[in-house]
Homo-oligomer: A and B are copies of this chain.
Amino acid sequence: MTEARKIPKPSFPYGSPGELNSFLPYLLTRITHIWSSELNQALASEKLPTPKLRLLSSLSAYGELTVGQLATLGVMEQSTTSRTVDQLVDEGLAARSISDADQRKRTVVLTRKGKKKLAEISPLINDFHAELVGNVDPDKLQTCIEVLGEILKGKTDY
C-alpha cells in the first residue's frame, strides 16, 4: 500500500478537528446525515420519507429487484424493506412481479403511478443535489465519485 503524499497521515483517534475532517468515514457519515435530514423535511409534504424514496429510486435504476436486493441498495433491514414494499404496493407506487429472466424469482417493480411520483419530485431532488455539489470543481467531483464508486465496488456485489 502506498502512502498519501500531500497530507500528514494521522491515525485514529484524532487529536484535532482538522484530522477528524480528513477521515473519510467521518465525512461520509456527516454529509449522509445532513442530506437525509434535509431531504426528509423537504419531502414531508409529499409523504415520501427517504427510505421509501431510496426503494423507488433503486427500482427506477434497476427496473426490477428482489426484496433482498432492495434491502441492500436501500440500506435497510430485510424485514423493514419488506414492510416498506408492502406500503408502496398499498399506495400503488410499486407492484409485486415475477422476474422476466427467472420465473421462480419474485421481484418488485415500479408502477406507472410510482414513475409519475418520481418524475414529480425530480425537480426538488435535482435542486437539492445541485445545491449540495454546485460549488465543487466538476473534475474534482468526478474524481470523488470514481473513488467512492471504487470503494463501494470493493464492498458489495452491486
- Interface of A with B (CB < 8 Å)? 1-7, 11-17, 19-36, 54, 56-58, 60-62, 73, 75, 115, 118-119, 122, 125-126, 129-130, 132-152, 154-156, 158
Contact = CB atoms under 8 A, between A and B. Distances in A.
A143 B144 contact: yes
A78 to B, nearest CB: 13
A138 B3 contact: yes
A12 B125 contact: yes
A4 B149 contact: no
Contacts of A135: 150, 154
Contacts of A142: 4, 6-7
A35 B28 contact: yes
Given A29-B54, A32-B28, A156-B34, A147 B151 contact: no
B57 A138 contact: no
B29 A75 contact: yes
11 contacts: A4-B142, A7-B142, A12-B129, A13-B56, A14-B60, A15-B61, A16-B61, A29-B32, A34-B156, A143-B147, A144-B148
